Amino acid sequence: MEIVLEKKLVITILILLSGLLNLYAENGHSLWLRNQIPKQVEVICSKQSETLSIAVQELKQNWQGNPGAEVTLSIKFNKEIKGDGYILDSSGVQANTDIGILYGVYDLLRRQRIEQPTKELISNPSYEIRLLNHWDNLDGTIERGYAGKSIFWRDENEILTITEQDKILWQEYARANASIGINGTVLNNVNSSPKMLEIKTLQKVKAIAEVLRPYGIKTYLSVNFSSPAVLSGLKTSDPLDSDVIKWWKNKVKEIYTLIPDFGGFLVKANSEGQPGPQDFGRTHADGANMMADALKPFGGIVMWRAFVYSPKEKDRAMQAYSEFMPLEGKFRENVIIQVKNGPVDFQPREPFNPLFGAMKKTAVMPELQITQEYLGHSKHLVFLSTMWEEFLNSDTYHQGKGSTVARCTDGSIYPHKYTAIAGVSNIGLDSNWCGHTFAQSNWYAFGRLAWNNNLTSEDIAAEWIKLTFSNKSSISDFNDWQEHFLLPVKKMMIESREAAVDYMMPLGLHHIFAGDHHYGPGPWYAPPNLRPDWTPPYYHRADKNGIGFDRTQSGSNAVSQYHEPLSSQFNNVNTCPEEYLLWFHHLSWDYKMNNGRILWDELCFRYENGLNKVRGFQKVWDKVKNYVDEQTFTEVQSKLRSQCRAAQMWKDGCLLYFQQFSQMPIPYDIERPVYDLDKLEKMDFTKD
């Protein structure tokens, strides 16, 4: 009993410290949870737990409803509530679990802040497991991280050094996640070090888990498949070897002794040089099932990534389907295949990965990328919710019309034991967590869509804007604020992803980035010693005859991996959606588009449109200066300038490069390039 009380006291102190820190912060650190002066409220809660203590404290510190109101938090089983869902009604929050109560409290407070009705409603999560994937390394660096170093790791030699500031930061992180329904976190890079499973590292994981646990967040680890051989000197890491099986069972038992609610493993195997079961002549199912068997007695899961490709394949976009479909139905029930939204790699626009819907007997979970590896890092304003909404609503047709990616993965169509969705984190030590104020909206949007995959990007953007920028105590005319700030900023956010597609790679072009940092244009990038599928010409295939990757039946036949009617639709140039035109077809420069322009001219206009959109975003932001604090205004203004320069480089670099093949003039009503191609080819875009 004394231990429980001590933990409650620590949690309360952390909440208070966090509140004090955020009260004075105008640097974005408080995210969408910015403090307002609370009104008095009486909270009635018959049970006691660390989680319920947080729920009560949140209500008392953030209540914006009727002063002196009475709110009841009721743990009472209701069959209409699924998992950690909840019911909001006139008396308060009802749930089947403590964490369900906390989720309901955050929803109630959110609705007060954004002036949404709090009428009776039932809210159940779309996915049971909703987690962030951190690509953090033990030395504190983050692969594809653009917001400072890791919040979890900083020095392999002092891994057990944990400060009170660390705990406060982890608590703030946990609170932000819980407020949007995220209930899991993978603490390290998918390119995992075997050292993650050393006892001293696991002791650190235990400490992190203890801070996250009261907020309903389970910890998971990415693991290296060669860990048995590397850490314990076994002669092999063959998943069918008895000593290897025993090693994993013992390691799993050790983990659960330290962390009783440990979630499980995320595995990247036989991909980009990472070890895996294929090194021993085994299949992905052999490797995943071995780990799943070790985890099953403790309730753990294996998330096995389908991001695989080989330089020998004629079309990288086809390999995940080719490798995993023959294994359909051979995975244990606690194995979930984690699949990137598109068949290549988090591109600005891709068709959905054909594995979605095709795997019926095996659980499949979407992997989305919150960190903007291919979308301007933390320099560009790109609201990713529109991309994810487009993806989730894509119809696979595998069980007839309406078999959307969302319904094929959330249990609506295929009733697997587990449902899950993951987002690759954009979180680091920067004071505003994400490196860009508007990049916070993507963390927020992921959580909201993971909880409710039917939400619209319009609604999510409006929520985030109100929570982040609307402080009623400082707004004299709320209607004026909505007209002159909310509406134009929301429009900018909704248009931002399409603008990025246009100024980077329109009409289905993809993976034409500079070098390996994936920032800035590089359609020319093709070092002779580099494998072809790591170079842009492999994807754009520009020549004197035209441009685009032929994935039709007469090309790589990637269209065959899609269910009808999509296969035929994508195969036929006349029915293929224009946004995927050059993804599936290699077309002549004078191919006639639906609007009457030839392909070359349309490319020019698309690049011009993307650049002009970003210029327009600058104007929108300058007009709202009086509605935001000076620090935020200046930071976003600077980022938009950087984005505008980058868009100009993208437009000029791509058009001048492709013009060498088209041999056609840039249309005269298009603004002339301002950069020279030879200079762009030598430029380091990351130093802008």
Write out pLDDT tens, residues 203-255: 999 999 999 999 999 999 999 999 999 999 999 999 999 999 999 999 999 99
Separation of alpha carbons 272 and 319, rounded Å? 13
Do both 13 and 115 map to the same domain? yes
Find the CATH number of the domain harbouring 80. Answer: 3.30.379
The answer to whether 101 touches 55, Cβ cutoff 8 Å, is: yes
What residues form DSSP beta bridges with 266?
A: 222, 303
What residues form DSSP beta bridges with 44?
A: 72
Our separate counts of H helices and E strands in the chain read 22, 13
Per-residue CA distances from 89 to 43, 48, 84 (Å): 14, 21, 17
Neighbour tally for 402: CB within 10 Å? 11
Find the CATH number of the domain harbouring 639. Answer: 3.90.1330.10
Last residue within a domain, chosen from 397, 423, 455? 455
Find the CATH number of the domain harbouring 389. Answer: 3.20.20.80
Do both 215 and 237 map to the same domain? yes
Do both 545 and 637 map to the same domain? yes
Q: Which residues contact 293 (CB under 8 A, 6 or more apart)?
A: 245, 249, 332
Neighbour tally for 614: CB within 10 Å? 27
Q: What per-residue string of b and e applies to 339-361 under the rule 16 or more CB within 10 Å gives b?
A: bbbbbbbbbbbbbbbbbbbbbee
What residues form DSSP beta bridges with 203?
A: none
- Closest to 337 (Cα-Cα) out of 328, 347, 350: 328
Do both 135 and 112 map to the same domain? no
Note whether residue 324 is domain-resident. Answer: yes
Catalytic residue numbers?
272, 345, 373
Residue 377 DSSP symbol: T
Do both 115 and 148 map to the same domain? no
Per-residue CA distances from 649 to 374, 513, 679 (Å): 15, 12, 10
Do both 89 and 147 map to the same domain? no
Do both 45 and 159 map to the same domain? no
**What was the pLDDT predicted at 472?**
55
> If DSSP codes are grouped into helix, strand and coil, which group holds residue 305?
strand
Last residue within a domain, chosen from 123, 147, 181? 123
Do both 281 and 338 map to the same domain? yes
Do both 250 and 399 map to the same domain? yes
Note whether residue 494 is domain-resident. Answer: no
Instruction: Output phi, psi for 486, to 5 deg.
Output: -55, -55
**pLDDT digit string, tens, across residues 73-120:** 999 999 999 999 999 998 999 999 999 999 999 999 999 999 888 888
Write out the residue range of the structural domain in which residue 602 sits. 504-549+586-687
Note whether residue 49 is domain-resident. Answer: yes
Do both 218 and 352 map to the same domain? yes
- Closest to 425 (Cα-Cα) out of 196, 179, 143: 143
Residues of the chain below pLDDT 70: 1-25, 471-474
The answer to whether 612 touches 604, Cβ cutoff 8 Å, is: no
Neighbour tally for 256: CB within 10 Å? 16
Separation of alpha carbons 296 and 298, rounded Å? 5
Question: What's at 473, amino acid-wise?
Answer: S
Do both 137 and 206 map to the same domain? yes
Per-residue CA distances from 50 to 58, 61, 179 (Å): 12, 16, 16
Note whether residue 564 is domain-resident. Answer: no
Note whether residue 47 is domain-resident. Answer: yes
> If DSSP codes are grouped into helix, strand and coil, which group holds residue 462?
helix
The answer to whether 84 touches 58, Cβ cutoff 8 Å, is: no
Note whether residue 335 is domain-resident. Answer: yes
- Closest to 422 (Cα-Cα) out of 606, 123, 182, 66: 182
Note whether residue 646 is domain-resident. Answer: yes
> If DSSP codes are grouped into helix, strand and coil, which group holds residue 435?
coil
Residue 299 DSSP symbol: T
Separation of alpha carbons 111 and 467, rounded Å? 10
Could you tell me the two tokens for 122? 């039932």
Q: Terminus-to-terminus CA distance in the chain, angstroms?
A: 57
Domains contained in the chain, number: 3
Instruction: Output phi, psi for 571, to 5 deg.
Output: -70, -30
Neighbour tally for 209: CB within 10 Å? 22
Note whether residue 303 is domain-resident. Answer: yes
Do both 196 and 57 map to the same domain? no
Looking up tokens 């070897």 gives 241
**What was the pLDDT predicted at 155?**
86
Q: Give the Cα-Cα-Cα angle 524, 527, 528 (nearest 5 degrees).
A: 125
For residue 21, with 0-12 CB atoms within 10 Å meaning exposed, 13-18 middle and 19 or more buried, which class applies?
middle
Last residue within a domain, chosen from 455, 483, 515? 455
For residue 6, with 0-12 CB atoms within 10 Å meaning exposed, 13-18 middle and 19 or more buried, which class applies?
exposed
